[in-house]
Structure 1
Amino acid sequence: MKKREFLKKSSLGAFGVLLAPQLLGALETGYQRRLRTAHIGVGNMGGEDLKAIASHNMVDVVALCDVDSEYLKAAAESYPDARTFSDYRIMLTEMGDGIDAVIVSTPDHTHAPASLLAMELDKAVYCQKPLAHRVEEVRAMKKLAEAKNLTTQMGIQVHSFYDYKLATLLIQSGIIGKVHTVRAWSPKNWGFDGPAPEGSDAVPANLDWNLWLGTASRRPFKKNFYHPGNWRKLLDYGCGTLGDMGVHIFDTPYNALALDVPKTITNNCRPPNGFGHPERNEVTYEFPGTAYTGESLTWIWSDGPGAPDSHPDLKLPEEEPLHDQGAMFIGETGRLYLPHFEMLPRHIVDGSYVDIDVERFKLGQPVRDYESEGRKHYHEFVDACLGKDECSAPFSYSARLTETILLGVIAGRFPGKTLNWDAKSARFQEEEANAFLGSTYRKF
């Protein structure tokens, strides 16, 4: 068997970890290739992603893409050697083998179309959270990444932070015994309870509205409703607070408890309005048991103004106020409190805090510098592409997490009704809910 064939079949390089297929040739020659990155979406969070990826000393930014010419111009000033595009399809086609990895930092509804096209062209992909806008997209992304053996990472930076790693180790060490309940919350409001806007406004000269809509249905532009920031609130483009902060706050309990997708989902929220996500949600999930839980696990997520409601599970010692965002693990022998973010987990037994021996986990001292801590997740992806590391949130993991999140979003269309999910068939028992698992792509 030729060396190249062996490497492709085994996906193992000299470092014994997964290699991006496009870098196999470099390994054969013994040449340490740099990673050439293309960035889809370079404003706001996309700009942060760009800066963090480019901070790795083995990265060359070769292409920039954004539907907003002002964002594109600003990014190009920082990376003048990169080619610029407004349409990611043209960028991927024209750049071809000149790209090794693609970073997708767009509104949620464009995550899957852009990522799937990049992966079809054998590119490693770093995609912002949530991984996709629809469950069918999530499954397609996971399937393609695994079929092509590509390096992938979901952009959930806290996955690589000290406090969340520590919480995972504590739970898996049995510090509170088997966990039977998780409560997680955020008071953020990425919902919209009002009516859809009427009429239209002139599209700003800097925005290509057709490309911004992409595969989503055409609708008239309305100022302050879509670009640049409010799309998260709207059904056609974002996933609400659950799809934004929920991904961050779910991640550690989900990972620590080795959960799969849930069996049932119930969302108590206002009736659907056909345009925006509910401003306040309480989603209850029931998960199959794992090695770290009882026979099943109950998970209650609360978001929106005033969340969470008071509950004995959330009472802290000495009437200490609850942090505005976080998660609480409730187990057989106590609770583990994990505020969000950059705060150490706290062990609670019989209403009092108990000291935690963190030295045995050999994690070193807590890091409280967000910029350096935040880059770890990005650099992990770059190093994985170069055969020096493995991704900790590849699509094989992040697709399951995102599917869980999206099932709660779908349940928001059926307030108070328990939906039963069959993970094997990827269908609800309630046929009416299956209409929201995917969507028809518009040609644009």
Structure 2
Amino acid sequence: MPAEPAGTSVTGPADPYAPVRTRRYVGLLVMAAALGVPVSAIAFGFLALVSELQSLTYTELPKALGFEGTPSWWPVPLLGAAGLLVGLTVRHLPGGGGHRPAEGLVSTGAPAAAELPGIALAALASLGVGAALGPEAPLIALGGGLAVWAAGRVKRDLAPEARTLVGASGSFAAVSALLGSPLLGAFLLMEVAGQAGPTLGVVLVPGLLSAGVGALIFTGLGSWTGLGTYSLTLGEVPPAADPGIAEFGWALVLGVAAAFAGAGIRRLALALQERVERRTVVATAAMGLVIGALALVYAETSGKDGSEVLYSGEHELGHLLSTSAEYSVGALVLLIVCKSLAYCASLSCFRGGPVFPAMFVGAVAGVALSHLPGLHLTAGFAMGIGAMCVAMLRLPMTSVLLATLLLGREGLTVMPLVIVAVVVAYVVTLRLTPAPAPAEQARPEVA
């Protein structure tokens, strides 16, 4: 082996765990745990306010105006007014109302304090009146932004790395109980951020601590107020049969179908977003009218409640599974079409997260296909959720966990099927996604 040239030194790789051994890291853990309490309490209040707005605008307000029930046409003016408010918020308040959901869940860091009011207002106006989006993206942004703002008030000279850790911990706390498990929320955030290796452990530890504290706060507040924890739950799940050859075949079919459906939804949403941004206020109000009209069409055609087309679908998953026998195949297909189009319109201009509507669309598709031979209801339900989630989010590990942990004990039985469906959907989705333009070749540096 040739000798090293004179004047050079050989150094080993830097210790990736060095930050963990410092007193400053211990201080960050303490700060993460302390901030987890108020951030999770604010997140709980946000979810409670969204739930109250949904009940007020869709149920209480029609009764106050003299209607015996909610008219099937009610969502049309309601969503139009909401679109007007969201458009004004996006147009005039700092931050543009926050993350644009058509672009998927992306890691952009904690927003500035000046952007938080616009994020909260746009999300409340979107989620509270029926846009087909979930609360996870606004909660991630609000949790991270509030944590960084509070940490900056306590310690003015907070280093950029510390701000990143504190912001991530705040996001962990905000979504700690939303997906049914603090661990599942942690997987979602870490997969979105693309962290791996030793860096994963450095960031994950304070995040998990905040998530654990946040889950305790959610549980305590839910018990104290009687409102529950707003966690993703199903209730009773039909027993799942052991996977057979036919169901593995259905896993391939569901994976491919979900990939094409997800690509279509995403491309249509991005195309609509490009057009909406030319006239934000008017176009967002128009998209609200479209969503309301889709709910009206579904209600009048199927005889079901139009609210199934609206909202995130998080609280409808259990009802869908337990009452699946009450839905004809035609009604399920119509629900898939109307919900998917409402999802596209919501992604293009409203503010919220893309996770729960993707789960709902996939679940309905799985239930519809379970009417065919060789596919059990629970297996189709789980595979549809996993395949559609990965098609829309491109987060394979999170998609598998969402589809299986949700089912409790039965999730272990169908997990092999879900893994096959998710992997197939993930690979096909990447093949359907246009490759990014190659970067220009950098010119060689002059020595």
| Normalised TM-score (structure 2) | 0.28
Pick the structure with more helix per residue: 2
> Which of 1 and 2 has greater Rg?
2
| Normalised TM-score (structure 1) | 0.29
